[in-house]
Structure 1
């Protein structure tokens, strides 16, 4: 793999034998190097193998628009968050998160605060990602000497959530968060309770809602069951929960213009019953 362009001592654009371009990060990877020199593999800390021309163009454009030290900072933030969350992010996070951090730092320096309307929901539904994002603010403070507000941690947390799903768009993550919040509000209002969001049962319910909303957005809801007998038995046994599920189904149909199937209602009923008992 040879150097095609040097951005600084730690970031380069490289080209392999098949003339496929890569972004390579590594401490001192380009020190005393020039275009055409071979890269020492041992010095590569992160290699972006981006097959899409559009994504590569976005990456290169980003490197031309933001300070390269902020890409290095993003790399530190991503590595730290992956260890803390015990996960592996989609590499696309480097584009969106670097761009966001650059914009957030610029806004802060120009005294232009931005309110995060979803901050409460993010803290409630994605507590682990939010905590990792708060640690990201500490890294930003250390390297940039500025302390960004909690609102920015909320935005960063959404990037962490988004990057755990392949090819998922940030707009979908925001949409899902809003849907979960509305559903929980219906549930809490119906039973006049406050849901304990750090419980195991809520975690199960949250996972079900995420898959449910993804099926709706992808138009993958299954057709009605030929035999609704099981649902009728569940409905009879948990009549109050079933009434709440009907409210959720009505809200869902109005929002997405798709009816909620009997099977989906049954699963929601069982999840909610376990959640509130």
Structure 2
């Protein structure tokens, strides 16, 4: 953008959040900055290089924006400040460019979390143990983020909430939406229950076989959701040699397909069968 270019303000969401449009291209942007909404009220425009703009990114997903909009109407500047510190910490701790959506997703999540904690509302995370095992590095970063939130707002952030913060950390670097991560966790837990019922197997939480299977199911779901193909050169061998496990894997694949609305490739089915074969021989 040229320095002198003006952005047309479409809507002031709050004192710190503005929706604006670039006149030459018609592209829409979300602008974040302390007091920026108050400053542009009534003016109708803002310079593209205005120093009050702390964050700017394209508004490509209106449906997702609508999920955050109501929470950001009364956006607390303190939330914005601590969110920015956490995002900087995530960026310094993990490689790769962060997904811009974290600049909306994280502060809106923190604002709601602080509200719940201050009002004595319980935060229950049924996926906490699975999250710790699946994303250990991200959980460690989320724990540091929880310390920042606790110090800034004088609240105690429980482990259950750290688990939810972990999703935001992982989503920022993997580009997998938080909602998709939650859905995948729910499906994985359901699949693990079916596997235990099928063979009357009790998983030892945190055991190598349990973690390996759990991670494979999660990553398999992510690949299917994102239409990422995987090669499996052992398909024919697995079908013949692991017939019982292959049959169960097919049924699990059917459950996955029903839950996510996408077909489960044969390559994924056979990898699941291979992990089942290994699991049953280490737990019996």
Unmatched segments (≥5 aa) in structure 1: 223-228
Contact 1:249/1:260 (<8 A) preserved:
no
Residue of structure 2 equivalent to 1:174: 182
**1:247-268 deviation digits (Å, cap 9, x = unpaired):** 3432342464488665433333
Aligned counterparts of 2:68 and 2:187: Cα–Cα separation in 1: 31
| 2:92 matches 1:83 | yes
Residue of structure 2 equivalent to 1:265: 269
* CA pair 236-59 structure 1, distance change in 2 beyond 3 A: closer
Q: TM-score with structure 1 length normalisation?
A: 0.69
Query: Aligned to 1:124, which of 133, 154, 161?
Result: 133
Residue of structure 2 equivalent to 1:225: none
Aligned counterparts of 1:6 and 1:260: Cα–Cα separation in 2: 42
- Report the alpha carbon displacement of residue 136 of structure 1 after superposing the two structures with TM: 0.9
* CA pair 216-53 structure 1, distance change in 2 beyond 3 A: closer
Residue of structure 2 equivalent to 1:209: 217
Aligned counterparts of 1:55 and 1:212: Cα–Cα separation in 2: 25
Aligned counterparts of 1:55 and 1:38: Cα–Cα separation in 2: 26
| Partner-residue secondary structure (3-state), 2:73 | helix
- Report the alpha carbon displacement of residue 143 of structure 1 after superposing the two structures with TM: 2.0
- RMSD between superposed Cα atoms in Å: 4.5
| 2:244 matches 1:243 | yes
Contact 2:142/2:162 (<8 A) preserved:
yes
- Report the alpha carbon displacement of residue 110 of structure 1 after superposing the two structures with TM: 1.2
| 2:124 matches 1:99 | no
Matched residues, number? 263
| Partner-residue secondary structure (3-state), 2:47 | coil
- Report the alpha carbon displacement of residue 212 of structure 1 after superposing the two structures with TM: 3.0
Query: Aligned to 2:153, which of 132, 140, 144?
Result: 144
Aligned counterparts of 2:247 and 2:264: Cα–Cα separation in 1: 9
- Report the alpha carbon displacement of residue 211 of structure 1 after superposing the two structures with TM: 5.0
- Report the alpha carbon displacement of residue 60 of structure 1 after superposing the two structures with TM: 5.5
**1:48-78 deviation digits (Å, cap 9, x = unpaired):** 2224455566665443233233123222222
Contact 1:89/1:160 (<8 A) preserved:
no
* CA pair 274-82 structure 1, distance change in 2 beyond 3 A: farther
